Amino acid sequence: MNFPPTRLSVVARTRSGDEVTRRLAFATLIEAYWKPAYKYLRLKWRLDPEDAADLTQEFFTSVLEKDVLGRYDAERARFRTYLRICLDGFASNAKKAEGRLKRGGGVTTVPLDFRTAEGELVRHEPSVAADVEELFYQEWVRALFQRAVADLRSSAQASGRDTMFRVFELYDLVEPTGDRPTYAELGRRLGLTPTTVTNHLAAMRRQLRQHVLDRLRDLTASDDEFRAEAQRLFGTTS
Amino acid sequence: MSLWIGDGMLTHLRDVAEWPDVGERYEIQGRLGRGGMGVVYAARDRVLDRDVAIKVLDTIDPSGVAARRLEDEARILGRLEHPGIVPVHDAGRLADGRVFYVMKLVRGKQLDAALDVSTSLNERLDLFLRICEAVSFAHALGIVHRDLKPQNVMLGRFGEVLVMDWGVAAAIASATVDDAVVGTPGFMAPEQSRGGDGVDARVDVFALGVILETMLPAPAPKPLAAIARRASAAQADQRYDSVQLLARDIAQYRDGEPVTAYQESFLERLARFYSRYRVPIVLLVAYLIVRVILALWLRV
């Protein structure tokens, strides 16, 4: 497996002295973690949708304002685990202070689509509900792939490879319950030979992997953490 | 609105993002399993229109040692043309430089999963003898497997017995144990776990002895238990010198003959003699009884 070139991870960039860099890093972080956090609060802490949405907002605002990430030690835990433990602590404190806590709390909120997240939770009952920590991971992986697929779509469009992405979309971006066409059927539909379909799929999958690894690199704090996460994600021994 | 990725699609994307680009000839259909240094995929060979298995190197390998080992494995399999050894069809390097080889896709069960209470002792012994045949064939060509275990023996749906995973096999003449090696605790001969030179075909005899133990019902017949003990003796010079000798003892037992690993008592010899010649003995006794009755009847 090829590792993306080392650069400052999003965790490191949240500690940047430059305000813009820091804000952008937080935005990336929130994008990757808000859905896992929201669903985790709903399922583990059994909060109703409104309270879970508020607490998610407050949590990320607190992360942003109270230098929660400054205390992160890569030697002691994976970043994802650290953030989940922080979320547990935050939820626990919020429960204790329930009487005093004003919903919203007048904090700056981040625009997050909780209605969609709640819809996902209702429509797709989590298959790992019994283990909410696993659910947090699963949601994090889902968010990672959602971003990577969006990256893939953008890069394909930017490089005039719309047909390649279309092949990928029709073959790989379908639920297994649906009818996945054969390469020959897909080729007939798009006016391509089965060999071209094979090549397009291989190219798109390779690029998807690269986008996932790029995102993963960004979301992990060290090379070791990146390798461990990549190994868990793809099962690679590397 | 971003794309919703359900659990099924997510699993599929995680799989396909990992699938190697195996070119136009093969179409990957799924992952079958992972070994020490490679992943095995089920694939379709478009040229020959058949299902195959593709083993692809999947480890960081800056020194190239793992790549050479996988290439060696493919070459060894290429030499070992035997019905009991999985045949290799193709080998090479992928577009990304990783070594791969293509082999027969074996549909069936691993030995440990295939045996159950309904498997008779004779069926077990026949299976074991077929494993011995394949390993013995490799030894005759100077190849030692070094990682024999029930999980590396596949029983096909049509009765095939195939010895798999020759990833750590080596030429007997050059077989030594280095740091990177390999084998499976419990099935690995002491001299193999210790490291150093002196590893020969008897490490496979040892592993076969342990496999035999796992295949025998409990309690095992004494001669078979003795054969397994001798094959898996801690000292290499106390084992069978070759897989052929081990197999011969098993065949002797199956055919009701004495085995070299077990010194039987007079009564056991008698019981074995009776067991082996039960039909003629019963017929002879019946004949003698009838003769006696006839003689007595005629005298009256």
Q: What are A154-209's pLDDT values in tens digits?
A: 999 999 999 999 999 999 998 877 678 888 899 999 999 988 998 899 889 989 99
User: Which residues of B are part of the catalytic machinery?
Assistant: 147
More confident residue, A120 or A99: A120
CB B227 within 8 A of CB B249: yes
Residue B135: pLDDT above 90?
A: yes
CA distance, residue B244 to nearest chain A CA (Å): 38
Residue B85: pLDDT above 70?
A: yes
Asked if A232 has any chain B CB less than 8 Å from its own CB, the reply is no
* Chain-chain contact of A173 with B3 (C-beta, under 8 angstroms): yes
More confident residue, B215 or A133: B215
* Chain-chain contact of A176 with B5 (C-beta, under 8 angstroms): no
Residue B178: pLDDT above 70?
A: no
Specify the long-range contacts of residues A25-33, CB closer than 8 Å, at least 24 apart. Answer: A26/A60, A26/A63, A26/A64, A28/A218, A28/A219, A29/A63, A29/A219, A30/A60, A30/A110, A30/A112, A31/A143, A31/A147, A32/A140, A32/A143, A32/A144, A32/A147, A32/A215, A32/A219, A33/A60, A33/A83, A33/A140, A33/A143
Asked if B4 has any chain A CB less than 8 Å from its own CB, the reply is yes
Q: Which of the four pLDDT bands, split at 50, 70 and 90, describes residue B123?
A: very high
For the ranges A66-80, A83-97, B58-72, B200-214, the maximum mean pLDDT occurs at: B200-214
Residue B141: pLDDT above 70?
A: yes
Asked if B62 has any chain A CB less than 8 Å from its own CB, the reply is no
- Cα of B80 vs its chain's centroid, Å: 14
CB A128 within 8 A of CB A136: no
What is the reported pLDDT for A6?
43
Residue of B27, B31, B57, B63 to mutate for A, most A C-beta atoms under 10 A:
B27
What is the reported pLDDT for B163?
94
Q: In what order do the strands lie in the sheet with B108-110?
A: B108-110, B153-156, B161-163
Residue A13: pLDDT above 90?
A: no
Residue A127: pLDDT above 60?
A: no
What is the reported pLDDT for B18?
82
Residue of A113, A137, A170, A175 to mutate for B, most B C-beta atoms under 10 A:
A175
Which member of B5, B21, B24 has the closest CB to residue A145? B5
Tell me the mean pLDDT in the region A140-155.
Answer: 93
Residues of B in contact with A175 (CB under 8 A): 6, 8-9
Residue A111: pLDDT above 80?
A: no
What is the reported pLDDT for B11?
87
Q: Which of the four pLDDT bands, split at 50, 70 and 90, describes residue A123?
A: low
Which member of B16, B19, B59 has the closest CB to residue A237? B59
What share of chain A in percent tops pLDDT 90?
20
Asked if A193 has any chain B CB less than 8 Å from its own CB, the reply is no
For the ranges A78-82, B15-19, B104-108, the maximum mean pLDDT occurs at: B104-108
Nearest residue on chain A to B56, alpha-carbon basis: A236
More confident residue, B92 or B21: B92
Which member of A1, A198, A233 has the closest CB to residue B60? A1
Asked if B123 has any chain A CB less than 8 Å from its own CB, the reply is no
Residue A1: pLDDT above 50?
A: no
CB B109 within 8 A of CB B96: no
Q: In chain B, which residue ranges form alpha helices assigned H by DSSP?
A: 7-18, 65-79, 111-114, 121-140, 190-194, 202-215, 222-231, 243-254, 266-276, 278-299
Residues of A in contact with B30 (CB under 8 A): none
What is the reported pLDDT for A118?
73
Average pLDDT of chain B? 87
CA distance, residue B183 to nearest chain A CA (Å): 18
Provide the 10 A C-beta neighbour count for residue A9.
22
Asked if A179 has any chain B CB less than 8 Å from its own CB, the reply is no
Tell me the mean pLDDT in the region B90-100.
Answer: 86
Tell me the mean pLDDT in the region B264-271.
Answer: 87
Average pLDDT of chain A? 81
CA distance, residue A96 to nearest chain B CA (Å): 35
List, in sequence order, every residue forming a beta bridge with B155; answer none if it has no partner: B109, B161
pTM score, two decimals? 0.67
What is the reported pLDDT for A7?
53
Residue closest to A71 by CA, chosen among A50, A85, A54: A85
Tell me the mean pLDDT in the region A199-227.
Answer: 88
CA distance, residue B10 to nearest chain A CA (Å): 7
Tell me the mean pLDDT in the region B1-18.
Answer: 82
CA distance, residue A39 to nearest chain B CA (Å): 15
Residues of A in contact with B58 (CB under 8 A): 1, 236-238
Residue B176: pLDDT above 60?
A: no
Which member of A142, A183, A234 has the closest CB to residue B27? A183
Asked if B180 has any chain A CB less than 8 Å from its own CB, the reply is no
Q: Which of the four pLDDT bands, split at 50, 70 and 90, describes residue B205?
A: very high
d(CA B65, CA B148): 22
CA distance, residue A124 to nearest chain B CA (Å): 7
Residue A237: pLDDT above 50?
A: no
More confident residue, A166 or A118: A166
Q: What are A27-38's pLDDT values in tens digits?
A: 888 888 888 888
Residue B60: pLDDT above 90?
A: no
Residues of B in contact with A184 (CB under 8 A): none
* Chain-chain contact of A145 with B21 (C-beta, under 8 angstroms): no
What share of chain A in percent tops pLDDT 70?
84
* Chain-chain contact of B21 with A206 (C-beta, under 8 angstroms): yes
> CB contacts < 8 Å between A and B, how many?
82
Residues of B in contact with A142 (CB under 8 A): 5, 10
Which B-chain residues 9-38 have CB contacts (< 8 A) with chain A?
9-14, 16-19, 21, 24, 27, 34, 36-37
Question: What are the angstrom distances between the C-alpha of B281 and each of B26, B252, B272, B273, B286?
Answer: 62, 21, 12, 10, 8
Which member of A124, A142, A237 has the closest CB to residue B58? A237
